[in-house]
Amino acid sequence: MATTRAPLPRFPRDFLWGVSTSAHQIEGAADQRGPSVWDAFTALAGTVKDGTTAAVACDHVHRYRDDVALIRDLGVGAYRFSVSWPRVLPHGTGAVSERGLDFYDRLVDELCAAGVRPVPTLFHWDTPLAVEEAGGWLSRDTAHRFAEYAAVVAARIGDRVPKWITLNEPAEHTLLGHALGQHAPGRQLLFDALPVAHHQLLGHGLAVSALRAGGADDIGVANSHGPTWPASDDAADREAADLYDVLLNRMFSDPLIVGRYPEVIAEILGAEVPDLDGDLKVISAPIDWYGINFYQPTKVGAPRAEPTPTEFSGLTLPSGLPFSPRPIDGYPTTSFGWPVVPDALTELLLALRDRYADRLPPLLITENGCSYDGLDDQERISYLDGHLRALHRALEAGVDVRGYFVWSLLDNFEWAAGYAQRFGLVHVDYATQRRTPKASYGWLRRELLAQHAPGAGDPGPARG
């Protein structure tokens, strides 16, 4: 049953509204690209909860015109998608697949014809399997291969792409894929996974240089961030929360924004990386904006007295970690069990501004969304409404946020959760590939029409 809500507050007239997806989660057509680490990972028994793969997913490669029409009709100004590295370079390097590049050519043309800005992400976790077999992100060489790939993509579609994203969530790819083994490529290295974080960031810096050389002048990154709350005022809980915050947040924002790692990370990497200072100069090359993927805060305490595996956000954390995530009570949760805390987004944005001051680039919310079942998804509407109001409060407080992208346009393959979790504004029947806009799609469309309506309040000045 629909709930009557007050209209959203007025956002700046040049505020960028968009939706997001990723290649491996929606494209399908796996037989038309090289294999990735996710193909190898999902082929193993027990890695995906429902035993599925993304071989077909949403069949976006064949149905992209229908999906662009949904984006156009929604009324957003931009579409954040990812380019599949193994679709462009089946072996990760060397021979280019013209068929793969042609697909992105057609997609970008379709978006431009629909009046939608293409915003490609160059890496959303689907490392080519051949690159993984040569060492993957544990190898410094992968950063250079990534930059070569970035140059190939820019040469083909750069004339029509005004805004670029290098990496998506290097924190999750490091921690879930390489430290805990619950995402591809399935390594369980714990703290020995730190070079993966560094090599991704180095790849980002090298890709920025490659994109600049190709004429790009609007480049950012999409990092996941969320506030870390100590479980109590006890010193042990505060210390554990600070370490968690370093690993999930500051290990990725500090080098990009201020050109250095937090001290504990610098000490570890200093023994691993021959020229850490030189790499940090590459990593901290100026970017035009900084992307934030936000979903939830995390409460963290000291390790339990009797360490046992911990269930957290759909993951099983091993025993022996130097921190222990705790449940956040008193808030509704999504179908994934994630707490819905819109005020935490305001808290995060204000904290980033206060930490980095004038070093902080303009911000974009590159992902924000939730998993709920059903076509009449009033809970998703409440979630988006609450987070957009929280974002507006940060704008009123002076934080320079230039845009907001909903995750996700379509229900899709949700990594190790398979197809059980539905994040889309549009429902996908995976048996028939039928797309059905949900109530949240209609709500957002109406809100965007109101944002763009003349005389609907003072939109404030356009920003440079």
Among residues 169, 379, 414, 447, the one annotated as catalytic is: 169
The Cα 149–Cα 138 span in angstroms is 18
* CA–CA distance, 284 with 312 (Å, rounded to integer): 32
Beta 290-293 vs 315-317: how paired, if at all? unpaired
Rounded to whole angstroms, the Cα distance separating 39 from 43 reads: 6
Question: Among 27, 110, 132, 367, which one carries the catalytic annotation?
Answer: 367
Query: Which of 74, 82, 80 shows the shortest CA–CA distance to 57?
Result: 82
User: What's the CA gap between 53 and 37, in Å, rounded?
Assistant: 12
Polymer length of the chain: 464
Helix (H/G/I), strand (E/B), else coil: 382: helix
Query: 262 and 252 in contact (C-beta within 8 Å)?
Result: no
- Told to judge if 447 belongs to the known catalytic residues of this protein, a careful annotator would answer no
CA distance 356 to 195: 25
User: Max alpha carbon distance in the chain (Å)?
Assistant: 62
C-alpha 228: how far from its chain's center? Answer: 18
Q: Is-catalytic flag, 367?
A: yes
Distance of CA 49 to the CA centre of its chain: 21
Integer CA distances (angstroms), 69 to 63, 65, 82, 115, in order: 10, 6, 18, 11
DSSP string for residues in 282-304 = HHTS--S-EEEE----EEEEPPP
**Residue 429 bridge partners (DSSP):** 434
Catalytic residue annotation: 169, 367
